[in-house]
Amino acid sequence: MISRRKALRAGAGLAALATVGAPSILHAQTKTLKITTWGGKWGEVMKATVLPAFEKEFKCTVSADQAFPFLPKLQVSSKNDPIYDVLHANSNEQWNAVVEGLVMDKITAKEVPNIADVYPYAVSDKIVGVTIFTSAIGLGYRTDKGLTKPTSWKDLADPKLAGSRGGYLIPVNSLGQAHLMMLGKVYGKGLTDLDAAYKALEALKPIKLVDFTGQMEKMLLSGEVSMGVIHDSGVYRYEGPNMQPVDFASPSEGVLALEQVLNVTPGSKVKELAFAYIDYMLRPDVQKLLAEAVWYSPANKKVKLDAKYDAKLLTTPEKVASLIQPDWKWYNARREDIDARVTKILKG
Amino acid sequence: MTTAARLSPIAWLIAPAGLLFVLFFVLPFAVMTAMSFYSGNPVTNPNAFLTTRHYERFIFDTAGIFHEALWSTLRIGLITTIVSLLIGYPLAHWMARMQSRLGHALVLMAVIAPMLTGIVVRTFAWMTILQDKGVINTTLMQWGLIEKPLPLMYNEFGTIVALVHIYVPFMVLTLTGVIGRIDERLEQAARSLGAGRLRAFVEVTLPLSLPGILAGSLLVFALSISAYVTPSLMGGTDVLTLPMLIAQQVGTSFNPNFAGALGVILLLVSLAIVVAYNRILARLAGGQGMA
Amino acid sequence: MRAAPNRRPFDAGRAAYLTLNALLLTFLLLPIVIVLVFALNPTPYISFPPVGISLRWFEKFFGSAEFMNALWLSLWVASVVLVLSIVIGAACALALVRGNLPGRAVMTAFFMSPLMVPAILTGLALFQAYLLSGIGRPVWGLIAAHTLVAVPYVIRTTLAVLHNFDRRIEEAAAVLGASPMRVFFEVTLPLIRPGVFAGGVFAFIVSFDQFPVSLFLVVPKGETLPVVLFNYMKFDLDGAIAAASMVSILLALSVVLVLERLIGLKAYVKL
């Protein structure tokens, strides 16, 4: 038999629990999705249009971190309570993340239905996560310096360009890293032929090296370099009234893919919402909006861009076939040695 | 002067600073130092094990770049400090001795403005000035003074110019307080005894401003050996300093343990230099019979 | 009005002195002039020579809620850091010079050490510590981090002034009957004001312009201006960041001017 005192105490306890629990039940209605995002024009469009629409449709709040770099912060946070639910990064970083167990290693159409509609490159074995956009890494060049449009990666080594060609600090920039691997393919046996790549790198000296693509854009725009490694988005965005005498060339050996990849953290407490977000970012209307804002090529096959974007971006299976995806897992494993070697070659 | 060996009650004034430093500097860095002896993050990664390999990697330097990075760091720091002093002292002297309040305010603002430009915009400004097609080279070539552009950027020169530009204000503001405290009548007395302006300066003002010189130099040196954003943006691959390596390891190699080890090494080297510096300062100040 | 204490003869020596200083000032101001050009140049990338004058970048900057929030946050944080670092730093400097503490050289070096550590490590170490102890990333954590890197400046400049200090002024006041407290507040403090002020200026600027430490410690919608600008610029190259830079300079300069009027770099007592 339960004594009256015990019953009263139990009742009071239950009531207290209910009052404490009630706010958390209410709280459970508005979940928070923690994502990362780039700044600039991309960030503007996300904050103004894409994210508010997502929040409304899925009845949640999105907390978008713009303070790059993201992976170091994810590394420090605990696996059970990660600081992000969705990580937006380039493919090389996603590979760094998966090696440490910070992101999931496979996402299929079961979790994200729209995966069924993407180009094969978006979920290839060179990708961990889901690609939502890509750019093509090729050669940017000035059209007013009497140069013929480059047709091969080897055109960058043209002796006439000595002192006016541009590249990146390889240890810190993924375009620079991709370019290094490309040198192995063009001058040697393939993307993993580092010896040929190092030799070709040596032959590219003197070359002006910068830290990030914004600096490369500035070098091209000010005429400091006449040709440099850059992605198509960085050149095409200067169009219309902002037209500049800079154009983009896709070398015949192929262009390298600079993918924008989304992935989910295994410890995330709102996994369904995270998958829903990736699915949302693959919707044709959302893809069209962002692709046209920043000149990215959408991963969803079903997206119909306006004519001027369609002409230049990779929107058909044929064009997409020219994309080369490096093996980042392989590269990241050798990173320390490559960084040291490259620094020695290019110094002085 | 009394030589009291007991702690004066004023000593307690150190408490707030001490508390701040223990909580927000010593503890976090103790954690980071501990982490530098692990292969990974022991809190989030059960596979992380104790190792000295990060330190070995620096000490043995099989890659051939780490020792060079340390020397570069110290060298650039030293040159930056000396140049900042040479530029900062005249400005500080002018500011301290200026009569008009308005003029003083204007120069103060001009001196401080460089510190406020913001890291990246400042780099773009220097790119505009120093690069091959920049203001300096195009002007010199137009005047026919040079044939090929001078390599002023993406090397150590450009890095030092940019660093000096940021740190001169620190030097000036440190010095101007000290010079301002020097009684002008001491110089006047020397002049009235027949010394020229230059001699009065060298033998009276300069020695009295020594504590300021040393303080300002120490400040600029400490700052320039820990700088990494500016050298990264201005130096190309020609410049690789230890802070740049550290930033790379954190931000793009995702190896915070190695970064922590490098940070410990840099801090130890710097502290050794600073302690030596302070001993000199104390001896000089004591030798001049001041407090 | 007092008569001018020195008549300065304007001769070759003085002309050289002034020319030298003018040249040095030009060195300091040239990049800022360039930034101003960028900010007024209508083309959407940072270019030189300018093609015209336009206020569109300033409009864009002031019209952006994100930039404005970041600007106010930076100003507010810097102001709090200014006050905290002046108090903590000046007290510490006094203790170091007058407190007869053992191991002063080592302690001084210790308090300077945040300056010698690359700020990205400081930011990372603090971020790690905050997460481990469950603090998360509140604004006071950001303020504490800024104060940590700002205090060394105040300590350093105050120490420089204290080393050059003629204690007989204090002794004279004491002899004239002033209590130690009164001597401290009415003689000592005003005399070290220039040093403390210089340090305070640093503290404000160091906090306002702080990038690496803030990088890890800001939260979405709570970012400081340097962080917002850096991430904007990594993605888009236009004059908005130059406009932001100019506004920062002007704002911070006004704050410094107000401080100078209130506390006065030039306001020291001559006996």
C25-54: pLDDT as tens digits: 999 999 998 888 888 888 776 666 777 888
The position carrying tokens 């190092």 is A198
Give the pLDDT score at C271: 24
Q: Is pLDDT above 50 for C116?
A: yes
Number of domains in chain A: 2
Together in a domain, C23 and C90: no
Give the pLDDT score at A25: 46
Comparison of pLDDT for B283 and A258, the residue scoring more: A258
Residue C4 lies in a domain: no
Per-chain mean pLDDT for chain C: 84
Supply the range of the domain harboring residue C191: 64-270
Contact A166, A227 (CB under 8 A): yes
- φ/ψ region of C178 (left if φ > 0, alpha if ψ in -120 to 50, else beta) reads beta
Give the pLDDT score at C264: 58
Among the ranges A18-22, A56-60, B220-224, which has the highest mean pLDDT value?
A: A56-60
Measured in angstroms, the CA of A23 and the nearest CA of chain B are apart by 31
CB-CB under 8 Å, A79 with B44:
yes
State mean pLDDT over B236-247.
86
Contact A7, A60 (CB under 8 A): no
Give me A256's structure tokens. Answer: 């390298």
Residue C123 lies in a domain: yes
Measured in angstroms, the CA of A263 and the nearest CA of chain C are apart by 19
Measured in angstroms, the CA of C82 and the nearest CA of chain A are apart by 24
Together in a domain, C35 and C138: no
Q: Please name the helix (run of DSSP H) or strand (run of DSSP E) that holds residue A227, with its range, or none.
A: strand A227-231
Residue C98 lies in a domain: yes
* Closest Cβ–Cβ partner in C167, C197, C257 for B291: C167
Give the pLDDT score at C192: 82
Together in a domain, A37 and A150: no
What percentage of chain B has pLDDT greater than the value 70?
A: 95
Q: How confident is the model at residue C2 (pLDDT cuts 50, 70, 90)?
A: very low
- Please list every residue in chain C whose beta carbon sits closer than 8 Å to the beta carbon of residue A219: none
Task: Dump pLDDT digits (tens) for A113-172.
Answer: 999 999 999 999 999 999 999 999 999 999 988 888 999 999 999 998 888 899 998 988
Q: How confident is the model at residue B125 (pLDDT cuts 50, 70, 90)?
A: confident
With the C-alpha atoms ordered A136, A139, A145, A149, is the resulting torsion angle positive or negative? negative
CB-CB under 8 Å, A172 with B232:
yes
Peptide bond into A206 cis (omega under 30): yes
Give the pLDDT score at C113: 86
Together in a domain, A245 and A278: no
- The candidate with the shortest Cα–Cα distance to A225, out of A234, A216, A233, is A216
Range in A29-38, A252-261, A272-281, B178-187 the model is least confident about: B178-187
Give the pLDDT score at B270: 86
In this complex, the chains that touch B, judged by 3 or more CB pairs closer than 8 A, are A, C
Residue C209 lies in a domain: yes
**DSSP one-letter string for A56-109:** HHHTEEEEEE-SS--HHHHHHS-TTS-S-SEEEEEHHHHHHHHHTT-S-S---T
Give the pLDDT score at A98: 93
Together in a domain, C156 and C240: yes
CB-CB under 8 Å, C25 with B91:
yes
Per-chain mean pLDDT for chain B: 85
Give the pLDDT score at B291: 36
Q: Please name the helix (run of DSSP H) or strand (run of DSSP E) that holds residue C247, with its range, or none.
A: helix C240-262
- φ/ψ region of B158 (left if φ > 0, alpha if ψ in -120 to 50, else beta) reads alpha
Residue A123 lies in a domain: yes
In this complex, the chains that touch C, judged by 3 or more CB pairs closer than 8 A, are A, B
Q: Say how far residue C64 (Cα) sits from the centre of its chain.
A: 26
* A93 residue type, one letter: E
Task: Dump pLDDT digits (tens) for A286-311.
Answer: 999 999 999 999 999 999 999 989 98
Task: Dump pLDDT digits (tens) for C236-245.
Answer: 777 888 888 8
Q: What is the CATH number of the domain that holds A80?
A: 3.40.190.10
Q: Say how far residue B223 (Cα) sits from the centre of its chain.
A: 3
Between CA C89 and CA C61 the distance in angstroms is 35
Range in A136-150, A334-348, B16-30 the model is least confident about: A334-348
Give the pLDDT score at A10: 52
Strand A60-65 with A31-36, pairing: parallel
A210, β-bridge pairs: A168
> A340 phi and psi, to 5 degrees?
-65, -45
Q: How confident is the model at residue B6 (pLDDT cuts 50, 70, 90)?
A: low
With the C-alpha atoms ordered B84, B85, B87, B89, is the resulting torsion angle positive or negative? positive
Per-chain mean pLDDT for chain A: 88
Comparison of pLDDT for B12 and C265, the residue scoring more: B12
Give the pLDDT score at C146: 96
Residue A145 lies in a domain: yes
Together in a domain, C91 and C207: yes
Q: Is pLDDT above 80 for A20?
A: no
Q: How many CB pairs under 8 A join A and B?
A: 82
Together in a domain, C173 and C131: yes
Residue C59 lies in a domain: no
* A36 residue type, one letter: T
Together in a domain, C201 and C258: yes
What percentage of chain C has pLDDT greater than the value 90?
A: 27
The position carrying tokens 């407490």 is A269
Q: Mutate which of A70, A95, A145, A208 to test chain B, going by most B C-beta atoms within 10 A? A: A208
Together in a domain, C111 and C244: yes
Nearest-Cα residue of chain B relative to residue C153: B219
Number of domains in chain C: 2
